[in-house]
Amino acid sequence: MEAREQFPECKKCGGGVLIPLSDYGRDGAPIEFKAWVCTNPSCGFNIRIDNGEISYGRSISHSTK
């Protein structure tokens, strides 16, 4: 099955799909679907939850962890 059939299309660029990313909280508890990120590298759209607040459009960078 193709990614386009499983994940929503990015409404910003229309050329990528939004994929879910998970993380771990301060106490090591898993946080599923903390962020959704567009697969189109030139788009960069993302939406995420940080400390209970929803933010979008922040630049994406690699973690040093």
Span 17-33, average pLDDT: 89
Question: Model's pTM, two decimal places?
Answer: 0.71
Among 38, 44, 47, 34, residue whose Cα is nearest residue 10: 38
Query: What confidence tens digit (pLDDT) does each residue in 6-15 have?
Result: 899 999 999 9
According to the model, what pLDDT value does residue 46 have? 92
CA–CA distance, 54 with 16 (Å, rounded to integer): 21
DSSP H or E segment with residue 30: strand 30-38
Provide φ and ψ at 4, rounded to 5°: -65, -25
CA–CA distance, 55 with 61 (Å, rounded to integer): 15
Residue scoring higher pLDDT (55 or 39): 39
